[in-house]
Amino acid sequence: MTSAIEVEIRSGVYYDSVMLMQLQRALAGLPGVLDAGVVMGTEANKDILAQSNLLAPEVQVAVADDLVIVVKGEDQASARSAIQKVDELLTVRRTGGVDQEYLPKSLETAGRMLPQAQWVLISVPGRFAAGVARQSLDLGKNVFLFSDNVSLEDEIELKGLAAQKGLIIMGPDCGTAIVNGVGLGFANKVRRGPINIVAASGTGLQQVTVRIHQKGGGVTHAFGTGGRDLTEAVNAATARQCIELLDRDPQTKVIVLVSKPPSRKVADDLVEVLRRISKPAVVDFIGYSTPTRIVDNVHFAFSFDDTADLAVQLASVETDRVLPKPPDSSRFASSQRFLRGLFSGGTLAYESLLLLQDYLPEVYSNAPLDKQFKLADSLVSQGHTLIDLGEDEFTVGRLHPMMDNDLRIRRLEIEANDPQTAVILMDVVLGFGAHPDPASELAPAIAKAKADAEAADRYLEVVAVVSGTDEDPQILEDQVKKLREAGVVVDLSNEACVRYAGRLVRSLETETVQVQTFKSVDVAVLDQPLAAINVGLESFTQSLTAQNAPVIQVDWKPPASGDEKLMSILARMRKS
């Protein structure tokens, strides 16, 4: 089949990308036209034209600011005739805009038309977007910045400004959000509910909200931060604001944090931020490997599905996994800082060391997970220490500590007399083969240790996991009772005991005060019905209208017709 290509290149004009798409389709649909391409003349776009065999030689000279129109016709005449219809087609397109009597030319005018608008949606081309965002912040509006191709420097500057003003800037390159039930940009219609989201991820946010909806849960707010928010340079400026805001919102029950691969440092930092808030949180950082599934109130998920599952579960129960409230740190003497673990079970000891990593960076052991924390002498504790008394070194010509409590009781006495010991953690393993009544020996020894500590003006907490069933030869209930009567905090789960002890010892460390580096956002932004000004893609105005949210479309044109020098002069004039 023969074909012929006609090209037109237009410089210094601005059309939004919806127009380009519609023009391309209209051209491709004309009689005798085989294919068409309407794009800005970037190198990437020229490569794509080449792949579709639309890269005529004259296109090579086009630059990024040029509009390139290519038509492949069955013959030269068809192609030329199509090109000649371009202006006409652009006019047709113009009439099918938003349904709004008057299109203001400026943000200021739009703001006067819809004073309750808290948000400005921006989807103009990247090189103009930062300027519009700055104007919006100056008007006291929060910003949903859909545009991509915005520089990192602009992002950092804009987020600094927003932090000062107590405003949110979602983006740049923020594709989606839900605010007070109204979807911005690309957003799905989901049930309202108490699971609220912060996401450095567009389709991640969408997939999670969709799956929450499909699993019966609901979402009222889902803030996008832009894909670069969790890089070290931006340091989660938007994510921190949004988490702090949702934590103050009485309607928010579960906070979900999703991110495309984040900076490890920023991610670790955000986990610390989440551990200090009052609500359960679910984290899905793609590619962030974690050795534990839960730490305190923070649950780690491994896919969007998993995130949705966890969030729906957590929202449907009244509390997180319940641990007893540890005693107030004021009960302890100032010398008391350390955890001492005395285990008879080797793997219970290992799991405890693993879980303690969430609370205490350094725990010494005779059987450490990491060799640098190997005790110099297994008989002498240093700092936080956890001993496995069932290790080979202790069992030559000696019964295993599950059968014989002697060695453990002797060590308990030593640890309890150490003025630095705050918490003693231990396991009591029941079952066939084990000591027939371990509590009868351990409980009096613990009671004495606690009394001795009290006589020395200290408070000694003893935490014990009793690992056994109601059918074991020892009577489980009696064992627990004897230990509790001696003042021991008892649980049947090793994890629960370790987390309780870890949390307690951590609370004895000097609390590092977190300085909030931003002005808090007014919680009204969550409560008031959303109203917005839209600058850019008209389809976003149509979406808001379809959701019954008041919106004003600005008839935006590039300042100075896109001339960057002139733009910067205008910006300076505006500032002064």
Provide the mask over 509-548, with x wherever binding to a copy of itself is found by CB under 8 A and - wherever it is not. ------------------------------xx--x--xx-
Name residues contacting a copy of itself, limited to 72-111 (CB under 8 A): none
Instruction: Write the DSSP symbol of residue 48.
Output: H
The span of 55-63, 298-306, 520-528, 551-559 binding a copy of itself (CB under 8 A) equals: 298-306
Name residues contacting a copy of itself, limited to 165-224 (CB under 8 A): 173, 175-176, 183, 185-191, 199, 201-207, 210-211, 213-214
Beta pairing, strands 182-185 & 254-259? unpaired
Name residues contacting a copy of itself, limited to 112-171 (CB under 8 A): 125-126, 148-149
472 touching a copy of itself, by CB under 8 A: yes
Which amino acid would we find at residue 540? F
Instruction: Write the DSSP symbol of residue 372.
Output: G
Q: Residue 103 Cβ, how far from a copy of itself at the closest point, in Å?
A: 20
Give the one residue of 13, 379, 456, 566 binding a copy of itself; rule: CB under 8 A: 379
> 507 and 329 in contact (C-beta within 8 Å)?
yes
DSSP-assigned states of every residue in 192-222: --BEEEEEE-HHHHHHHHHHHHHTT--BS-E
Q: Using H for helix, E for strand and C for coil, what is the string for 101-133?
A: CCCCCCHHHHHHHCCCCCEEEECCCHHHHHHHH
**Would you say 79 or 496 has its CB closer to a copy of itself?**
496
Helix axes 126-138, 564-575, angle to 10 degrees: 10
**Would you say 131 or 226 has its CB closer to a copy of itself?**
226
| Listed residue (351, 300, 359, 345) closest to 500, CA to CA | 359
63 touching a copy of itself, by CB under 8 A: no
355 touching a copy of itself, by CB under 8 A: yes
Q: In which order are the strands placed within the sheet that holds 489-491?
A: 364-365, 385-388, 338-343, 421-429, 461-467, 489-491
Q: Residue 186 Cβ, how far from a copy of itself at the closest point, in Å?
A: 4
CA–CA gap between residue 306 and residue 17 (Å, rounded) = 36
Q: Residue 50 Cβ, how far from a copy of itself at the closest point, in Å?
A: 9
Straight-line distance from the first to the last Cα atom of the chain, in angstroms, rounded to the nearest whole number:
63
Consecutive H or E run containing 422: strand 421-429
Q: Residue 151 Cβ, how far from a copy of itself at the closest point, in Å?
A: 11
Give the one residue of 30, 277, 403, 571 binding a copy of itself; rule: CB under 8 A: 403
70 touching a copy of itself, by CB under 8 A: no
Name residues contacting a copy of itself, limited to 256-275 (CB under 8 A): 258, 260-261
Q: Which residues are CB-neighbours of 268 under 8 A, at least 6 positions away? A: none
**Would you say 75 or 232 has its CB closer to a copy of itself?**
232
402 touching a copy of itself, by CB under 8 A: yes
350 touching a copy of itself, by CB under 8 A: yes
Give, in order, the Cα–Cα distances in Å from 186 to each of 183, 543, 544.
7, 9, 11
Q: Residue 258 Cβ, how far from a copy of itself at the closest point, in Å?
A: 7
The span of 76-84, 449-457, 491-499, 567-575 binding a copy of itself (CB under 8 A) equals: 491-499
348 touching a copy of itself, by CB under 8 A: yes
Name residues contacting a copy of itself, limited to 439-458 (CB under 8 A): none
The label of the residue with tokens 């997939």 reads 207
Give the one residue of 30, 40, 56, 139 binding a copy of itself; rule: CB under 8 A: 40
Helix axes 438-455, 476-485, angle to 10 degrees: 10
* Structure tokens given for 81: 């005739």
**Would you say 202 or 341 has its CB closer to a copy of itself?**
202
369 touching a copy of itself, by CB under 8 A: yes
**Would you say 150 or 504 has its CB closer to a copy of itself?**
150
Give the one residue of 263, 494, 534, 553 binding a copy of itself; rule: CB under 8 A: 494
Beta strands in 251-384 (DSSP E): 254-259, 281-285, 294-295, 298-300, 338-343, 364-365
294 touching a copy of itself, by CB under 8 A: yes
The span of 72-80, 387-395, 450-458, 565-573 binding a copy of itself (CB under 8 A) equals: 387-395
Q: Which residues are CB-neighbours of 511 under 8 A, at least 6 positions away? A: none
